Amino acid sequence: MVQKLFLILIVVGLPLSVIGSVLHWPSTAMFGIYCLTIIALAGVMGRATESLSIVAGPRIGGLLNATFGNAVELIISIFSLKAGMIGVVLASLTGSVIGNLLLVGGLSFFIGGLKYKRQVFSIYDARHNVGLLMFAVIVAFMIPELFTINMNDQKTMALSIGISIIMIILYLAALFFKLVTHRGVYPATSHQEGQVASEEEEVPEWSKWKAIIILALATLAVAYVSEKLVHTFTAVGEQFGWSELFIGVIIVAIVGNAAEHASAIIMAYKNKLEVAVEIAMGSTLQIAMFVAPILVLSSLFFSNNMPLVFTVPELVSMATAVLLSVVIINDGESNWFEGLTMLAAYFIMGIGFYLL
Model confidence over 182-195: pLDDT tens digits?
766 666 554 444 44
User: How large is the average pLDDT for residues 300-320?
Assistant: 91
Please tell me whether residue 243 adopts helix, strand or coil conformation. Answer: coil
How far is it, in rounded angstroms, from Cα 34 to Cα 20?
10
> What percentage of the chain carries pLDDT values higher than 90?
28
- Residue 327 to residues 46, 112, 256, 321, 342: CA-CA distances in angstroms? 28, 19, 27, 10, 11
The top-scoring range by mean pLDDT among 33-37, 141-145, 172-176, 337-341 is: 337-341
The four Cα atoms 81, 85, 88, 90 give a dihedral, to 10 degrees, of 50
Mean pLDDT of 167-182: 86
Q: What is the dihedral of CA 125, 95, 292, 132, to 10 degrees?
A: -20
Count Cα atoms within 13 angstroms, Cβ side, for 6.
17
CA distances from 252 to 39, 72, 77, 92, 163 (A): 12, 10, 9, 6, 25
User: Measured between alpha carbons, how far is 259 from 41 in angstroms, rounded to an integer?
Assistant: 8
What's the rounded Cα separation, in Å, for the pair 9 and 36? Answer: 7
Q: Is the pLDDT score of 215 beyond 50? A: yes
- Which tens digits make up the pLDDT trace of 83-142? 888 988 999 899 989 998 999 899 999 999 998 888 888 788 778 888 888 888 888 888
In this prediction, residues 138-156 reach a mean pLDDT of: 85
- pLDDT computed for residue 1 by the predictor: 64
List alpha helices for the chain, DSSP H: 2-23, 27-56, 58-82, 86-98, 105-115, 123-134, 142-147, 153-176, 208-230, 233-240, 244-246, 253-256, 258-269, 273-286, 292-298, 312-329, 336-355
239-255 average pLDDT score: 84
Residue 92 · residue 252 · CB < 8 Å:
yes
User: Cβ contacts of residue 96 below 8 Å, gap of 6+?
Assistant: 70, 73, 253, 256, 257, 283, 284, 287, 291
pLDDT grade for 324, boundaries at 50, 70 and 90: very high
Average pLDDT, stretch 257-269?
76
Least confident stretch, 51-65, 189-203, 233-247, 274-288: 189-203
User: Residue 38 has what pLDDT?
Assistant: 85
Domain boundaries, the chain: 2-355
Query: Exposed/middle/buried for 175, CB within 10 Å: 0-12, 13-18, 19+?
Result: middle
Residue whose C-alpha is closest to residue 161's, from 16, 7, 297, 327: 297
What is the average pLDDT across 284-290?
Answer: 89
Contact 271, 193 (CB under 8 A): no
**42 or 152, which is more confident:** 152
Average per-residue pLDDT for the chain = 84
> What's the whole-number mean pLDDT along residues 173-182?
82
- Spatial contact of 72 and 227, defined as CB atoms under 8 Å apart: no
Task: Count how many Cα atoms sit within 13 Å of the Cα of residue 326 in the half-sphere of its side chain.
Answer: 13
pLDDT band at 319 (very low <50, low <70, confident <90, very high): very high
Residue 66: pLDDT band (50, 70, 90) is low
Q: Within 10 A of 299 (CB to CB), how many other CB atoms are there? A: 22
β-strand pairing of 119-120 with 333-334: antiparallel
